[in-house]
Amino acid sequence: MAENAQQARRQVIVVGAGPVGLTAAIACKAHGLDVVILEADPQDRVRPGSRAIYLHGATLRVLERIRPGLGHAMAGKGLVWPTRRTLFAGREVFKRTYSTEPRDSSGLPHFTSLPQVEAERLLHQTCAELGIQVIWESPVVGVETSDEGVRLQGPKDQLWQADYVIGADGGRSSVRTQIGVEMEGSRSVNSFVIADVSEDPDDPLPLERIFHYQDPSVGGRNVLLVPFAGGWRADLQCLEDDDPEEFSQGEGLKRWISAVLGPRYAQRITWVSTYQFLQVVAQSLTDAHRRVLLVGEAAHLFAPFGARGMNSGVADAEAAARAISAAITSEDPATAARGIDAFSDERRGAALYNRDAASIALNYLQGKQLATRLRKHAAAFAARWWEPAGKWLDTAPYGPTSAPPTSAGRY
């Protein structure tokens, strides 16, 4: 239940108990900060779908750093699929199986495939272990910042005060709106229908990530299939003049799931949603008084190709906690403000980098340019005898594999 009247002042209030807000609170606790989370939803909410399933090794390492054991716990619950496979119009153009063993001394895998709901469950469990309170049913509707700190207002005159606030309240962030920061960017042209199905435990499918260009079983649309712990993500790219509703409900939905995964999976659909992806970044990740720090989808939204959303949100969260810790221990307000600015510049730079990378993947998939379409066809032809062409087709849908530069420890 929401708490009434004025609450004790905190060093840090995190707004939003999504994966990024939970991570931010854990990172603050690792710095010894007094932190609490305000969440709009009730505690018994049901979060939709699997959403983020691909967690990069770098993310697991951040989680392990801020709470020893947490990265390993995520990896232990997830799975690493060993095989990457790509087809073009019904013909296999690439297939390779890789070792799933960890590639460095951390013992953590280079990625794990875990539904976001499960990742959030582990993050909540960690918060409970650390004594981090989540105050449910507490939507923030007003934000007032000054050189001294932040006042947050709830809908029934609740008032909270903090030295610093981390805005982790998602794509429609009230915190961002309240501090007057706008998003800049664009939206994808094509729609994507994304469905989760549960695995058939009696006869599981082979653990392969499959991309099928122009799959003839679904009228030549592109299809991505990704296994995760307990199920599969199926992603259908609609053609530009498709009505996505035809593929996201009833018989239309069952028909394409049945075509790409097999008829038994048409009965195992657990979630479906239709997207046009926003590719937007906040103009600034802080306010005029350098007291609010925006992280995760409150700061940026990307198309999911390349899995840069939650992964970069976790990096934002760690950086925000580090910047606040340095600001709180600094005796000079100007130095403290400069540190928050450095956070904003660095993580905004990372967000722009990630947006550009996701745009490369999105433009490639939408295939608007003739040159891109010709390259795909030429590569599919050449892949019959030249493996690098198939490998290019296999990696291109996810955009560049590089990560944005960071300057850990600068603030």
Ligand X SMILES: Cc1cc2nc3c(=O)[nH]c(=O)nc-3n(C[C@H](O)[C@H](O)[C@H](O)COP(=O)(O)OP(=O)(O)OC[C@H]3O[C@@H](n4cnc5c(N)ncnc54)[C@H](O)[C@@H]3O)c2cc1C
Q: Which residues bind ligand X (CB under 6 A)?
A: 15-21, 38-41, 51-54, 116, 139-140, 168-170, 174, 194, 296-297, 304, 307, 309-311, 313
CB of 141 to ligand X, least distance (A): 7
CB of 267 to ligand X, least distance (A): 22
Q: Which residue is nearest to ligand X (CB)?
A: 18
Best CA proximity match to 38, nearest among 130, 158, 125? 158
Rounded to whole angstroms, how far apart are CA atoms 88 and 74? 34
Instruction: Considering the complex, state which of residue 110 and residue 377 has its C-beta at the smaller distance from ligand X.
Output: 110
The total of other beta-carbon atoms located within 10 Å of residue 78's CB is 22
Instruction: Considering the complex, state which of residue 15 and residue 380 has its C-beta at the smaller distance from ligand X.
Output: 15
CB of 343 to ligand X, least distance (A): 16
Ranges of beta strands (E only) in 57-171 are: 83-88, 91-97, 111-113, 133-135, 142-145, 150-153, 159-167
Q: Give CA angle at 340 (337, 139), nearest 5°.
A: 110
CB of 384 to ligand X, least distance (A): 32
Q: Give CA angle at 56 (52, 61), nearest 5°.
A: 120
Which helix (H) or strand (E) element contains residue 349?
helix 333-366
Instruction: Considering the complex, state which of residue 88 and residue 228 has its C-beta at the smaller distance from ligand X.
Output: 228
Instruction: Considering the complex, state which of residue 163 and residue 316 has its C-beta at the smaller distance from ligand X.
Output: 316
Instruction: Considering the complex, state which of residue 361 and residue 379 has its C-beta at the smaller distance from ligand X.
Output: 361
CB of 333 to ligand X, least distance (A): 28
CB of 193 to ligand X, least distance (A): 10
Q: Which amino acid is at 336?
A: A
Rounded to whole angstroms, how far apart are CA atoms 366 and 190? 7
Instruction: Considering the complex, state which of residue 21 and residue 71 has its C-beta at the smaller distance from ligand X.
Output: 21
The total of other beta-carbon atoms located within 10 Å of residue 157's CB is 9
